[in-house]
Amino acid sequence: AQTVTQSQPEMSVQEAETVTLSCTYDTSESDYYLFWYKQPPSRQMILVIRQEAYKQQNATENRFSVNFQKAAKSFSLKISDSQLGDAAMYFCAYRRSGSEKLVFGKGTKLTVNP
């Protein structure tokens, strides 16, 4: 069974600084997708960034980028120029190609200090 591990229950960063959230996963599949979701307090979960396993190039969305290391089964999220609105729970998730089932990690709570 696929598992997703987020080893940092909480992280904090100063406004305008850079922070990296860690995620590792376990799978025997070769074709899959990886995601980072953001869940602000009392608000709905939204997709931040996605990575297809067959792509070697790391995905980037504005201030958000990933470091995808397929051999190491590592998928970290880097947030540059952190803003107060980035404060939220961040979940790493895995989905096998051909399936819609998302497997989530336990999440990392990010605090942004002014």
27-56 residues in contact with other proteins (CB under 8 A) are: 33, 43-47, 50, 52
25 contributes a contact to other proteins by CB under 8 A:
no
| Count of residues that interact with other proteins, criterion CB under 8 A | 20
Nearer to other proteins by C-beta: 19 or 94?
A: 94
The two tokens of residue 37 are: 């979701």
Identify which of residues 18 and 99 has a Cβ nearer to other proteins in the complex: 99
CB 75 within 8 A of CB 92: yes
- Enter the tokens of residue 113: 């200090």
Which helix (DSSP H) or strand (DSSP E) does residue 35 occupy? strand 32-39
* Burial class of residue 41 (count of CB atoms within 10 Å of its CB; 0-12, 13-18, 19+): exposed
Query: Closest CB to other proteins among 50 and 78?
Result: 50
Q: Which stretch binds other proteins (CB under 8 A): 23-31, 53-61, 73-81, 97-105?
A: 97-105
